[in-house]
């Protein structure tokens, strides 16, 4: 928890510990109860979600370079892409020639895992 608090990761993959057959840890006595492991994971995930949202807020008003992946699955009026820090960025555009290209977007809204921007024409 201290590391997540100090570092402020934009994204982190977290899993509940599970014994792996053949590893020294699997043969150790006094394994942590499943409920406690789950509670700890949930607490860590809540903290990470809060930190991720804080990090996303730092993008507001900034111009972000985005590699366009194509139309959004949820809203075909929006294009989706990834920033250099692997953030999902959604922006409106009717241009069909942007897939696979880099574009600049100005971020006007930031959710925990997704940034919303407007295309900045060069």
3-state secondary structure of 60: coil
For residues 14 and 27, what is the distance between their CA atoms, to the nearest angstrom?
Answer: 23
- Residue 98 pLDDT: 95
pLDDT (tens place) for every residue of the chain, 122 residues total: 888 888 878 888 888 877 788 888 788 888 888 899 999 999 999 999 999 999 999 999 999 999 999 999 999 889 999 999 999 999 999 888 999 999 999 999 999 999 999 999 87
- Residue 112 pLDDT: 93
Nearest to 57 by CA among 112, 7, 3, 118: 112
- Residue 46 pLDDT: 94
- Residue 27 pLDDT: 84
For residues 83 and 105, what is the distance between their CA atoms, to the nearest angstrom?
Answer: 10
SS3 content of the chain, % helix, strand, coil (to 5): 30, 30, 45
- Residue 118 pLDDT: 97
- Residue 4 pLDDT: 86
Phi, psi of 91 (to 5 degrees): -155, 150
For residues 24 and 6, what is the distance between their CA atoms, to the nearest angstrom?
Answer: 30
CA distances from 110 to 16, 25, 34, 43, 90 (A): 28, 41, 35, 23, 10
* Statement: 63-120 belongs to CATH 2.40.50.140: yes
Structure tokens at 23: 């590893």
3-state secondary structure of 54: helix
pTM of the model: 0.80
């Amino acid at each position: 928890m201290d590391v997540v608090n100090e570092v402020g990761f934009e994204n982190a993959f977290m899993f509940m510990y599970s014994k792996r057959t053949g590893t020294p840890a699997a043969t150790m006595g006094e394994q942590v109860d499943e409920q406690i492991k789950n509670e700890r994971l949930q607490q860590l995930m809540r903290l990470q979600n809060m930190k991720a949202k804080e990090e996303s807020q730092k993008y507001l008003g900034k111009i972000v370079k985005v590699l366009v992946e194509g139309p959004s699955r949820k809203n075909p009026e929006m294009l989706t892409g990834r920033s250099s820090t692997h953030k999902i960025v959604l922006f409106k555009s009717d241009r069909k020639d942007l897939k696979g290209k880099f574009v600049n977007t100005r971020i006007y809204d930031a959710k925990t895992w997704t940034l919303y921007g407007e295309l900045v024409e060069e």
